[in-house]
Amino acid sequence: MLLTRGLEERLEILLKQGHLVGSVYRSLGQEATAVGSAFALGPGDWLAPSIRDMGALFVRGLDVRDMLRQYTARGTSLCAGKDNITHFTVPELGLLGPVSPLGTQLCVLNGVALAFKQRRQPNVCMTYQGEGASRTGASHEGFSLAAALDLPIVVWLEHNRWAFGTRSDRQSAVEDWLDAAAMYGVPAESVDGNDVTAVYAGARKAVDRARAGGGMTILVAETYRMHGHAQHDAQKYVPAEELEEWRDRDPIDRCEVALHETGASAEELAVIRREVAAELDLAVDDVLAEPGPEGEEARTRVYASADLDALVPWTRGPVPGYGDLAPHLRAEA
Amino acid sequence: MSELRETTYLEAIRDAMAEEMRRDDRVFILGEDIGAYGGAFKITEGFLDEFGADRVIDTPISEAAIVGAAIGAAHVGLRPIAEMQFIDFIAPAFDMIVNFAAKSRYRTGIGAGLVIRGPCGGGSRSGPFHSQNVESYFANVAGLKMVAPATARDAKGLLTAAIRDPDPVLYFEHKFLYRRVKEMLPIDEEIVVPLGVARTHREGSDLTIVTYGGMLYKTAEAAEAIAAEDGAEIEVIDLRSLRPLDTDAIVASVRKTGRLLIVHEAARFGGFAGEITAQVSEQAFEWLDAPVRRVTALDTPVPYAPALEDYYLPQVDDITAAARWLLAY
C-alpha cells in the first residue's frame, strides 16, 4: 500500500515536471482492496486489474520500474510505448491488462478461467471493476457467462462511489451493490474495502472456493475514490464532508493502527517507509535514463508476421512500382 | 491418389473444424446452440458427442462474452473458434474484436490467435438482421485478418489456415452457398489455403473482375455469357482473403487487361471496392484504359420482400452491363 501511494505521489511530481505522457490515475483510498486481495492468489493464478488496482500488480511480482516506464511511455515499457497505465498483459506473471472500454476485461479473463477449467488446472482468476464499469453490456455478459459456465473466477465490484464525475446512484437504482450481484446466482459478499485484512480474508475464502471447483464469487468492496478521476479532475462535484468522513477511514492509517496493536514499533514502520522511498528514488532515476521508442516502431507488431507489418509503411514512402518520382519526372531525371 | 468425396461448402466448414479438433486438442468451439442443438445450420452436428462439453461450449446469448472468452483462451495458448449464429450478431462483439482482439498484439505483444466465424450474406429472404455482409465494418481495423471463401475447397482450406493462424481471423461464410456449392474433395488429405492469396478463377485478357464470396458465381456466369456472346475474355479474380488483401494479384491482372470491375455483395459506400480502386489507381494508373467501376449492393439496409432483396443485391445482368460498358470504353 505504501509502495502504491508512494509511487502515485512520485508520478504526480513527475507529471508536473513534464516527464509523463498523459495523466495520472490515482488509487488514493482504494489501495487496500487491490493489495489485500492479490495476496490471496497463488502461483499460476491470473489477475486482471483496473487502472486503480496498481497495488495488486506489485503483490504479483511486477517491478515498480515497469509502471514508471508505462507512465513515461518508454520504449522499454511492457507496452513498448504503444499503450499506457496498467494496460499490459504479462502471461509469466499471470497479468491481464484492461482496455479503456470498460467491462470488456472480465469477458477476456473468462477465457483464461475457461482454459484452467478445460485443462483441469487448479488455478483461479481474479479481476476488479468499479460500479460504473459494471453497468456496461460487456460486464453483464461477462458475469453471465462466468456464472453459467461455473468458471473459477473472483470478481471485485469496487463500489468507490464515483465513476469519473457521476455518483453511483446514477449508475443504478440499487442502494446495496450486493443486490446488483445477486442476479447472477453465485455467492456474493460485501467487504470493507478499506480494511486490508478484511479484504484478504474475503478474497481468500472466494479464491479457495474457486480453486476447489466451487465456481465464481462476486465481492463488493465498500470504498471511496479520494481523488478525482485523473489529474485534470479537481473533484469539485464531491461534497467536502464526505471526503472528510472517508479520510478517517484511510486504509494505510488503519493498517498502521492495526500493526501497532499487534506489536509493531514506530521504528519498524518508519524503516518500511524509508525502504519504500529509497526503492522509488532508484527506480525513478533508472527509468528516466531509459530511451523512448523510435517513431518508426509505430508500424511494428500489428501482426505476428513481420512481413505483414512491412505492408504498413508505404503510405509514407515511395509508391511500389513507381519509386520516389512520378514517371514523367523520372524520365527527365 | 486420394479418394474423393462430394463435399458441400457447409460440410467443408464442418470437416475443417472437426479435423483440426482431432489433430490439436487446443482447438475448441464456443457459441450459441452449437452443442446439444448442433448449430443453427447444423454445422456442428455430432460435435458434442465426439469432442465433449469442454470443447463444444454452449454459451449464453452474449456475443461479447463469447469473443472475450476466445481472446482470453488464446492468450494462454488455446485455439478457439467463436461462432456467431449469424454474422449480423457480431455487432454486440464489436468492442471485443476492435478494441481487444485486434489491438492486443500491438499494445501488449501478446497476440490473440482465434477465429470468429459465422454465416453472412443475402439471397435467403432473411431480412435486415440475418443477411448482412459486415466486412467493411472491420476493414479499417489494423490487426484483423478477414477471409470470405466462395468454393468448398477454399472454405475448408481457409478455415484450417485460420485456425492455425496466430492472429485474429474473421471468417465470413456465405449461407447461400452452404448447400448449393459442392465439389469433389479428397477425404484423407489435408487442405490448407494460405491467408492473403487470391485465386484466378478464370483467365482472360480483356477485363479484370475482382470479386469474392457469394458474388463469385454471378460474376462467373456473366463472364461466360460475355465470352459466348461478345467473344471477350474476362479474367475473374476470387480474392478469398480480404485482409491481407492480395494487391499484387489484382495489380498484375489489371496491368494485363487494362480494365477493372469490382463486384461485391456488401454495400457500396466505404466498401472494399473503394479501397481496391484506390490501390489500383496508385499502383497501375498508367495501365488503365478505362475508369474503374463497381457493382455492389445498394447503400440501404438489406430488405426482406423477395422483389426488394433482388433489387438490392447485384445481379448477373448488372455485372454484364457494367462489363460491357467497360469493354466498349
Torsion angle defined by CA atoms of residues A210, A214, A215 and A221, in that order, rounded to the nearest 10 degrees:
-60
Asked if the Cβ–Cβ distance from A80 to B72 is below 8 Å, we say no
Among B60, B110, B284, beta carbon nearest to A144: B60
Residue A65 CB contacts under 8 Å (≥ 6 apart), including other chains: A283, A286, A287
Q: Which residue has the cell 514512402?
A: A317
* pLDDT over 70 at A320, yes or no: no
Domain edge (last residue) among B152, B186, B220: B186
Chain B positions touching A115 (Cβ under 8 A) are 72-73, 76-78
Nearest chain A residue to B102 by CA: give it: A302
Whether B27 and B52 share a structural domain: yes
Query: How distant, in Å, are the alpha carbons of A2, A256, A280, B313 from that of A267?
Result: 16, 12, 20, 80
* pLDDT over 60 at A313, yes or no: no
Nearest chain B residue to A94 by CA: give it: B76
Residue A311 pLDDT level (bands cut at 50, 70, 90) = confident
A149-193 confidence digits (pLDDT tens): 999 999 999 999 999 999 999 999 999 999 999 999 999 999 999
Whether B152 and B41 share a structural domain: yes
Asked if the Cβ–Cβ distance from A104 to B143 is below 8 Å, we say no
Q: Which of A83-87, A231-235, B109-113 has the lowest mean pLDDT?
A: A231-235
Among B92, B99, B105, beta carbon nearest to A101: B99
- Contact (CB, 8 A) for A89 and A304: no
A275-306 confidence digits (pLDDT tens): 999 999 999 999 999 999 999 899 899 999 98
What residue spans define the domains of chain A?
Answer: 2-293, 301-332
> B235: domain CATH number?
3.40.50.920
Whether B179 and B310 share a structural domain: no
Rounded mean pLDDT, B221-250: 97
> B168: domain CATH number?
3.40.50.970
Asked if the Cβ–Cβ distance from A118 to B59 is below 8 Å, we say no
Asked if the Cβ–Cβ distance from B59 to A138 is below 8 Å, we say no
- Residue B238's φ and ψ, nearest 5 degrees, are -95, 110
**Is the ipTM above a cut-off of 0.85?**
yes
Nearest chain B residue to A323 by CA: give it: B283
B130: in domain: yes
- Look up residue A169 and give its amino acid: D
B323: in domain: yes
Cis check: omega of the bond before B60, within 30 degrees of 0? no
Chain B nearest C-alpha distance from A113 (Å): 8
- How many alpha carbons fall within 13 Å on the CB side of residue A202? 30
B191: in domain: no
B149: in domain: yes
Rounded mean pLDDT, B260-271: 98
Domain span including residue B30: 4-186
Whether B115 and B82 share a structural domain: yes
What are the helix (H) ranges across chain A?
Answer: 2-16, 31-38, 54-59, 64-71, 104-118, 137-148, 178-182, 196-211, 240-247, 251-261, 266-288, 306-309, 327-332
Whether B53 and B124 share a structural domain: yes
- Contact (CB, 8 A) for A24 and A16: no
Chain B positions touching A111 (Cβ under 8 A) are 68-76, 78, 80
SS3 for B168?
coil
Chain B positions touching A97 (Cβ under 8 A) are 107-108
Query: How distant, in Å, are the alpha carbons of A31, A229, A241, A249, B276 from that of A245?
Result: 17, 19, 6, 7, 63
- Contact (CB, 8 A) for B20 and B74: no
Which residues of B are marked as active site?
130
* pLDDT over 70 at A81, yes or no: yes
Whole-number Å distance between alpha carbons of B20 and B24: 6
- Contact (CB, 8 A) for A34 and A252: no
Cell of B57: 461450449
Domain edge (last residue) among B186, B212, B230: B186
Whole-number Å distance between alpha carbons of B128 and B90: 14
Whether B105 and B210 share a structural domain: no
Whether B161 and B205 share a structural domain: no
B194: in domain: no
Chain B positions touching A82 (Cβ under 8 A) are 106-107
CB pairs under 8 A between A and B: 150
Asked if the Cβ–Cβ distance from B142 to A88 is below 8 Å, we say no
Whether B116 and B151 share a structural domain: yes
Residue A268 CB contacts under 8 Å (≥ 6 apart), including other chains: none
Q: Which of A191-205, A300-314, B121-135, B161-175 has the lowest mean pLDDT?
A: A300-314
SS3 for B152?
helix
Give the CATH number of domain A2-293; options: 3.30.1540.20, 3.40.630.10, 3.40.50.10540, 3.40.50.970: 3.40.50.970
Q: How many domains does chain B have?
A: 2
B193: in domain: no
